[in-house]
Amino acid sequence: MGIKDIRRNHILDRAIKLFCTHSIAEVKIRDVAEECNIGEATFYRYFSKRSTLVIACALKLSERMFELFADEVGGSGFDRLSRFYYRFYEVFCDHAEYYRFLSQFDAYCIGEEIKDLDQYSDNLDVFKARFVAAYNDGIVDGSVKEVWDMDLFYYSTTHAMLSLCKKLAAEGRIVRQDDLTDKRQEVRTIIEIILNSLKK
């Protein structure tokens, strides 16, 4: 890795920290430059515009998430699917700021009409590959029920998990009902519903 890549990664790490601590909307280029002890002109040597930085941060966070979703070898297909879905819970418990960032990133992309997200989309496909491998192994070893449409099942359940985790991570108490349940248990409940529909 060259010096330019090292500096670029340093800027990304600092920007992610700022975006996760504050919000994408609040953090300006000057804030990132100050956090990195560089001038704004130096910043623009690495990122041509603010949206380029935000997308690069999303890419780096998706890679971190993928590392967290790394599956240990062994167990039935159902065991691996269980670990896959429980990673959502573990990330929620240990890195809720990732989900807050993702919530803001979705809103940012819609608001700014960001279109160039092919690389980010490619990163998301890696998660699906993990699911598909575990699901297929589960069909072969008899631990998993066959679902009517694997793609539909995958996208519906992961969107449900992501939406819930982003909502619970991003929002504070709004109405009194928000205090009636433990947020972590809400996430676990959805996971158990999903797994019960998969287990043979």
pLDDT at 180 over 70: no
CB 171 within 8 Å of CB 96: no
Average pLDDT value for residue range 96-121: 91
Which of these, 71, 61, 68, lies nearest to 90 by C-alpha position? 68
Q: Three-state SS string across 15-58, please?
A: HHHHHHHCCCCCCCHHHHHHHCCCCHHHHHHHCCCHHHHHHHHH
pLDDT at 1 over 70: no
**In CATH, what class is 57-198?**
mainly alpha
Name the band, by pLDDT with cuts 50, 70 and 90, for residue 195. Answer: very high
Long-range Cβ contacts of 142-151 (<8 Å, 24+ apart) = 142/200, 143/76, 143/77, 143/78, 143/79, 143/199, 143/200, 144/76, 144/77, 144/78, 144/81, 144/198, 144/199, 144/200, 145/197, 145/198, 145/199, 145/200, 147/197, 147/198
**pLDDT per residue as tens digits for the range 43-96:** 999 999 999 999 999 999 988 888 888 766 789 999 999 999 999 999 999 999
**In CATH, what class is 1-48?**
mainly alpha
Q: What percent of the chain has pLDDT over 70?
A: 94
Mean pLDDT score across all residues of the chain: 91
User: What are the start and end residues of each CATH 1.10.357.10 domain in the chain?
Assistant: 57-198
pLDDT of residue 123: 85
Average pLDDT value for residue range 1-11: 86
Kindly give, in sequence order, each residue whose CB lies less than 8 Å from that of residue 199, ignoring residues fewer than 6 positions away. 78, 143, 144, 145
User: What are the start and end residues of each CATH 1.10.10.60 domain in the chain?
Assistant: 1-48
Rounded to whole angstroms, the Cα distance separating 27 from 162 reads: 24
Rounded to whole angstroms, the Cα distance separating 72 from 52 reads: 34
